[in-house]
Structure 1
Amino acid sequence: MSETLNEHLPDVSGLTLDRPIALVGLMGVGKTTIGKRLSELLHVPFRDADEEIERSAGQSITDIFAHYGEAGFRDGEQKVIARLLDEGPHILATGGGAFVQPGTREIIKQKAITIWLKTDLRVLARRVANRSHRPLLHNRNPMDVLREHEKNRYPFYALADLTVDTGDVSHAKSVERVIEALKAHLGTK
């Protein structure tokens, strides 16, 4: 893990996972980047649900949406996430809409510690602008899409076990905030 000289690694001593951690939140919040760093610190595998869906389907998320629509994508997403959560402790970065789906949310809540990574919409809009791999942004203003998602998804994200405001800070600082929240949740000092 590459850290700058000014950033230190959070203390994870005594923090042992007995089940997966599922990261939920809007696109651009850092689920993949933060998840990878958490997996390194906690010495558990990292899984990206979208990458696993693409691997399983043999096509990109964009192509899955184009061929099967969002309903077809969500069905496959639920199956892949259920399979991944049976693999023991690891960090799972979920797609932005996964936790909104009732069946998928139920599976995630049963089998994982859920953490909502939350950041100001302006920060997210800046991060996702000009990203062609996000099908829900195709030919749309990112801020408009994010506002819709805030309205429709935040009530579901609020059902996560933990909420961590990652703000507009470094990934290292965000990881530190997640570790602190996990320690408090698990009663680890």
Structure 2
Amino acid sequence: MAEAGEKQWYVLHTYSGYENKVKENLESRAQSMGMEDYIFRAVVPEEEETKMKNGKEKKEMEKTFPGYVLVEMVMTDESWFIVRNTPGVTGFVGSHGSGSKPAPLLPEEIDNILSQFGMSAQNQPSDFEVGETVKITDGAFTDTTGKITEIDDEHRKLKVDVDMFGRMTSAEVDFTSVEKQK
């Protein structure tokens, strides 16, 4: 194994239309080749768009950067080889060919891109726990307390069960919209 550096974000060029397949392939290859400590996340930037089809509104996920996939990885000879030889990947953006390793995205670049999709580059796990009681400080359920039922670290959201008029209702809130209760 090559010496592990720090994990950084890189941009992969893919065949257009294969972005989600590349993401799946990367994730399964990282697992099957024991590279989970080197290849972390693959992200296909997309946003929901509403289109009219046969006079009806239809929501579809549109790729924001068609032909590109973001990958968070530690760049070693081995991880670089595995990623660039993943089916559907045509190469790294920022690589000058002839075996030169690509330049990673700058922290502010990846923060800017991911924040547009409600994600964070600093994917540190939250310090919340399922079953913990929190008070909601923002949004429709402000000043309501409830129990955490689900934690989504990637999108930095919580599902919290709150009591509304004697019935349990599930609310989805951002990490920043709650405070822990003693």
Asked if these proteins are the same fold (TM beyond 0.5), I'd say no
More strand by share: 2
**Bigger Cα Rg:** 2
Of structures 1 and 2, the one with the larger relative CO (CA 8 A, separation 6+) is 1
Q: TM-score, normalised to structure 1's length? A: 0.28
More helix by share: 1
